[in-house]
Amino acid sequence: MSDSAIPTVPRLIVETHPVDDVKLLIPLIDPRHPLVWLRKGQGMAGIGEALRLEFGGPGRMLEACAAWKDVVASARVTDPVKLPGSGLIAFGTFAFADDSAATSTLIVPRVVIGKRDGRFWVTKVRVEGSDEPLPTAMTRPLGPEYRLTLLPGEVSADGFRASVDAAVERIAAQELDKVVLARDLVGHLPAGADLRRPLTDLALGYPDCWTYAVDGFVGSSPETLVRVSHGTVSARVLAGTTARGADAQADHDQAVALATSPKDLDEHGFAVTSVLAALRPHSRSLTTSEVPFTLKLPNLWHLASDVEGVLSDGSTSLDLIAALHPTAAVAGTPTATALQVIRELEPFDRGRYAGPVGWVGADGDGEWAVALRSAQVDEAGDITAYAGCGIVADSDAEREYLETKMKFRPIVEAFG
pLDDT in tens, 372-412: 999 999 999 999 999 999 999 999 999 999 999 999 999 99
State the pLDDT at residue 355: 98
Distance CA 344, CA 366 (A): 34
Is a pLDDT exceeding 90 seen at residue 299? no
Question: What one-character DSSP code corresponds to residue 306?
Answer: E
266 neighbors 312 (Cβ within 8 angstroms): no
Amino acid at 393: A
- The predicted-structure confidence for 39-68, as pLDDT tens digits, reads as follows 999 999 999 999 999 999 999 999 999 999
Categorize the per-residue pLDDT at 6 as very low, low, confident or very high, splitting at 50, 70 and 90. Answer: very low
State the pLDDT at residue 3: 45
Is a pLDDT exceeding 60 seen at residue 347? yes
State the pLDDT at residue 7: 53
342: left (phi over 0), alpha (psi -120 to 50) or beta: alpha
Cα of 25 vs its chain's centroid, Å: 19
- The predicted-structure confidence for 173-216, as pLDDT tens digits, reads as follows 999 999 999 999 999 999 999 999 999 999 999 999 999 999 99
Amino acid at 58: P
The four Cα atoms 165, 166, 169, 170 give a dihedral, to 10 degrees, of -140
Is a pLDDT exceeding 60 seen at residue 5? no
Beta bridge partners of residue 161, listed in sequence order? none
**What H or E segment, with its residue span, contains residue 15?**
strand 12-18
114 neighbors 83 (Cβ within 8 angstroms): yes
DSSP E strands in 150-214: the ranges are 151-152, 178-188, 210-214
Q: How far is CA 352 from CA 63, 212, 228, 305, 358, in A?
A: 17, 13, 22, 24, 12
257 neighbors 242 (Cβ within 8 angstroms): yes
HEC secondary structure over 332-358: EECHHHHHHHHHHHCCCCCCCCCCEEE
142 neighbors 194 (Cβ within 8 angstroms): yes
State the pLDDT at residue 243: 87
Q: How many residues does the chain have?
A: 416
Phi, psi angle pair for 187, to nearest 5° = -165, -175
**What H or E segment, with its residue span, contains residue 359?**
strand 356-361
Distance CA 366, CA 322 (A): 13
Distance CA 51, CA 9 (A): 8
Percent of the chain with pLDDT over 70: 98
Q: Tell me what the mean pLDDT of segment 273-296 comes to.
A: 91
3-state DSSP call for residue 269? helix
364 neighbors 347 (Cβ within 8 angstroms): no
**What H or E segment, with its residue span, contains residue 291?**
none
Per-residue burial over 245-283, b = 16 or more CB atoms within 10 Å of its CB, e = otherwise: eeeeeeeeebbeebbebebbbbbbbbbbebbbebbeebb
**140 C-beta neighbours (distance < 10 Å), count:** 12
Q: For 81-128, give the DSSP string.
A: S-STT-SSEEEEE--SSTT-SSPEEEEE-SEEEEEETTEEEEEEEEET
Is a pLDDT exceeding 80 seen at residue 2? no
Is a pLDDT exceeding 70 seen at residue 1? no
SS3 content of the chain, % helix, strand, coil (to 5): 30, 35, 40
State the pLDDT at residue 136: 87
Phi, psi angle pair for 294, to nearest 5° = -90, 125
Distance CA 65, CA 47 (A): 23
- The predicted-structure confidence for 212-263, as pLDDT tens digits, reads as follows 999 999 999 999 999 999 999 999 988 888 989 889 999 999 999 999 999 8
Distance CA 303, CA 295 (A): 6
Percent of the chain with pLDDT over 90: 87
Q: Tell me what the mean pLDDT of segment 109-135 comes to.
A: 95
